[in-house]
């Protein structure tokens, strides 16, 4: 899994842990829901500024969004 896919997977997982819809997280992070959807699909690149906003709203360190899973299955 490349870093782009890792980010997308972590973003989707962390949003689901909080039980937020894409619309709720997008609103909180001040981005559009369609942009968030594209990020979760790995279709768009993301800036450090947006990573920071998302991490802040998800209450995690920005590095958590880029951390590769230790599960190799």
Q: 69 falls in which pLDDT band (50, 70, 90)?
A: confident
Domain ranges in the chain are 3-65
Span 3-65: which CATH code? 1.10.260.40
In the chain, what percentage of residues exceed pLDDT 90? Answer: 82
Mean of pLDDT values over 19-32: 98
What pTM did the predictor assign? Answer: 0.89
* Per-residue confidence (pLDDT) for residue 71, from 0 to 100: 60
Long-range contacts of 62-68 (CB under 8 A, 24+ apart): 64/10, 64/14, 65/7, 65/10, 65/11, 65/14, 66/3, 66/6, 66/7, 66/10, 67/6, 67/10, 68/1, 68/6
């Amino acid at each position: 899994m490349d870093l782009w896919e890792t980010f997308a997977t972590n973003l989707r997982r962390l949003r689901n842990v909080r039980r937020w819809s894409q619309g709720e997280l997008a609103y909180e992070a001040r981005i559009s829901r369609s942009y968030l959807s594209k990020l979760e699909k790995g279709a768009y690149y993301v800036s450090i500024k947006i990573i920071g906003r998302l991490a802040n709203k998800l209450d995690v360190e920005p590095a958590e969004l880029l951390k590769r899973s230790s599960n190799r299955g």
